[in-house]
């Protein structure tokens, strides 16, 4: 396999994102807020508009728009399966967003599990992969937390200690949306499956930055959200074959009772699902190869190299600004997402982001719903952190602008 860093540079496709043309106070907008949702290319916008123009219909209509709509939804499911490395469309369900799917799964697990059974969540995760499981405590299910270390990495010793013969499910993130930590999924799978439990992973922050191979990862369920990878607001669930059929999901007797439809209630957001297909095609258009999976993997590789380069630049430069403290793992970690969070001495993150916003730099402050690690790391009462996320359309020039503004800010404290 070719070395990632030897690959060609990412082609400049910024012109395909209409929102990048916006400016504010005379400054072009620099969208460094990708972890909260990326910008959308024209091809995705067109696919959504085309759906409403050409094939707007409910499912199973015996007329052209109905048949075309069904075909499009099938194609989107096939493509999502290829994006996630699933064996086929039967493993892919759509939902309103990741959180809604997560709650739907938790309700179903609540019917399957018994009092005294255990679920493990982590202290690093977004609340969407904690709250639904913590809610099962009401049913007598024990929900324990895997701890974190000071650098916002999982405490794997604690992980090993807490998995036991009563553990039925481990719900873990693949990457932290707050600190960029990438968790060790092969460790998690080994320990979880050895105990006879299921492994569910939240790939919402992982899927935009790294290729996903759900089968190779050996996970039982994986969740992600298309609006984090250049698509619209749609949640996607991968459940390995047979998994969803074990679960008593909420469903009407009138709907298809089998996977993958078993968890899809009501009419889906068809136009947005057409946009999911276009978003994956957009990613694949960065890659080369004879088949779509190779182009998706190639595209993710090109995107990953670009993001990693900019994130390292940013990380190193932030470390040199007096009064700025970078939070989370270093780039020496085996893998790290291009999401860099930091605090500025004497300034709350809200103030930092407001000042950046005036200069057209979009960065987020707060906990980003990853409230538990902020509490554990003592950042919660300080307003959390400032988070900068790199996406494929970000440039070195935008990073330079951000650094310049931060230096001025620090000087003016």
**Helical packing angle, 396-411 and 349-358, nearest 10°:** 120
Q: Count H helices, E strands: the chain?
A: 13, 15
Task: Using CB under 6 A, pick the residue from 38, 39, 93, 99 that binds ligand PLP.
Answer: 99
First to last CA, the chain: 49
Give CA–CA dist 371/303, Å, rounded.
29
> Are 387 and 340 a contacting pair, CB within 8 Å?
yes
- How near is the Cβ of 96 to ligand PLP at its closest, in Å? 8
Q: Decide: is 225 part of the binding site for ligand PLP (CB under 6 A).
A: yes
- How near is the Cβ of 373 to ligand PLP at its closest, in Å? 11
Site for ligand PLP in 117-156 (CB under 6 A): 126, 128-129
Q: Decide: is 335 part of the binding site for ligand PLP (CB under 6 A).
A: no
Provide the edge-to-edge strand list for the sheet that holds 324-327: 324-327, 339-344, 385-389, 364-366
Nearer residue to ligand PLP within complex by CB, 162 or 205: 205
Residues 6+ apart with CB under 8 A from 406: 318, 321, 324, 344, 352, 356
Nearest-CA neighbor of 118 among 161, 173, 170? 170
Task: Using CB under 6 A, pick the residue from 177, 183, 249, 386 that binds ligand PLP.
Answer: 177
- Scanning 85-93, 95-103, 242-250, 378-386 for contacts with ligand PLP by CB under 6 A, the matching segment is 95-103
- Scanning 23-31, 38-46, 92-100, 329-337 for contacts with ligand PLP by CB under 6 A, the matching segment is 92-100
Task: Using CB under 6 A, pick the residue from 82, 202, 308, 367 that binds ligand PLP.
Answer: 202
- Scanning 154-162, 200-208, 239-247, 352-360 for contacts with ligand PLP by CB under 6 A, the matching segment is 200-208
Task: Using CB under 6 A, pick the residue from 98, 108, 136, 188 that binds ligand PLP.
Answer: 98
Nearest-CA neighbor of 133 among 171, 175, 183? 171
Residues 6+ apart with CB under 8 A from 4: 301, 304, 305, 308
Nearest-CA neighbor of 191 among 210, 204, 216, 172? 172
- How near is the Cβ of 203 to ligand PLP at its closest, in Å? 8
Q: Which two tokens stand for residue 298?
A: 């190639």
- Looking at the DSSP bridge assignments, the partners of residue 142 are 118
Task: Using CB under 6 A, pick the residue from 43, 56, 65, 97 that binds ligand PLP.
Answer: 97
Q: Decide: is 204 part of the binding site for ligand PLP (CB under 6 A).
A: yes
Nearer residue to ligand PLP within complex by CB, 232 or 298: 232
What letter does residue 11 receive in the DSSP assignment?
A: P
Nearer residue to ligand PLP within complex by CB, 225 or 249: 225
Cα separation values, 350 from 237, 346, 354, Å: 33, 12, 6
Nearer residue to ligand PLP within complex by CB, 209 or 401: 209
Give CA–CA dist 18/2, Å, rounded.
33
Nearest-CA neighbor of 128 among 231, 189, 203? 203
Site for ligand PLP in 235-294 (CB under 6 A): 235
Q: Decide: is 349 part of the binding site for ligand PLP (CB under 6 A).
A: no
Nearer residue to ligand PLP within complex by CB, 225 or 268: 225
- How near is the Cβ of 228 to ligand PLP at its closest, in Å? 7
Tokens 């993130």, residue? 173
How many CA atoms does the CB half-sphere of 150 hold within 13 Å? 1
Nearer residue to ligand PLP within complex by CB, 90 or 102: 102
Nearer residue to ligand PLP within complex by CB, 131 or 147: 131
Q: Decide: is 221 part of the binding site for ligand PLP (CB under 6 A).
A: no
Nearer residue to ligand PLP within complex by CB, 38 or 69: 38
Residues that bind ligand PLP (CB under 6 A): 97-99, 126, 128-129, 173, 177, 202, 204-205, 225, 235
């Amino acid at each position: 396999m070719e070395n990632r860093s030897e690959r060609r540079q990412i082609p400049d496709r910024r012109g395909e994102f209409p929102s990048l043309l916006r400016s504010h106070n005379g400054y072009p907008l620099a969208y460094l807020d990708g972890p909260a949702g990326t910008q959308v290319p024209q091809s995705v916008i067109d696919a959504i508009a085309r759906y409403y123009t050409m094939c707007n219909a409910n499912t199973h209509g015996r007329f052209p728009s109905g048949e075309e709509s069904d075909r499009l939804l099938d194609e989107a499911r096939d493509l999502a399966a290829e994006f996630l490395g699933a064996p086929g469309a039967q493993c892919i369900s759509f939902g309103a967003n990741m959180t809604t799917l997560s709650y739907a799964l938790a309700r179903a697990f609540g019917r399957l599990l018994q009092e005294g059974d255990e679920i493990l969540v982590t202290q690093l995760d977004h609340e969407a992969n904690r709250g639904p499981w913590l809610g099962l405590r009401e049913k007598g299910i024990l929900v324990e937390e895997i701890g974190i270390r000071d650098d916002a990495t999982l405490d794997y010793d604690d992980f090993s200690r807490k998995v036991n013969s009563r553990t039925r499910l481990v719900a873990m993130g693949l990457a932290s949306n707050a600190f960029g930590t990438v968790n060790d999924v092969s460790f998690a799978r080994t320990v979880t499956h050895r105990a006879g439990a299921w492994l569910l992973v939240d790939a919402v922050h992982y899927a935009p930055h790294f290729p996903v191979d759900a089968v190779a990862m050996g996970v039982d369920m994986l969740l992600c959200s298309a609006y984090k990878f250049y698509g619209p607001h749609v949640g996607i669930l991968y459940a390995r074959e047979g998994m969803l059929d074990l679960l008593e999901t909420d469903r009407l007797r009138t709907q298809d009772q089998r996977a993958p439809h078993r968890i899809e209630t009501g009419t889906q957001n068809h136009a947005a699902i057409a946009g999911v297909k276009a978003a994956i095609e957009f990613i694949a258009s960065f890659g080369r190869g004879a088949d779509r999976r190779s182009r998706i993997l190639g595209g993710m590789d090109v995107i990953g190299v670009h993001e990693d380069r900019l994130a390292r630049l940013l990380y190193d430069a932030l470390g040199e600004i007096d009064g700025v403290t970078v939070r989370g793992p270093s780039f020496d970690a085996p893998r790290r997402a291009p999401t860099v969070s930091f605090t500025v001495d004497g300034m709350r993150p809200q103030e930092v982001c407001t000042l950046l916003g005036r200069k057209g730099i979009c960065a987020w402050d707060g906990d980003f719903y990853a409230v538990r690690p902020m509490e554990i790391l003592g950042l919660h009462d300080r307003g959390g952190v400032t988070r900068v996320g790199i996406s494929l359309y970000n440039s070195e020039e935008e990073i330079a602008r951000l650094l310049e503004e931060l230096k001025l800010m620090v000087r003016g404290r």
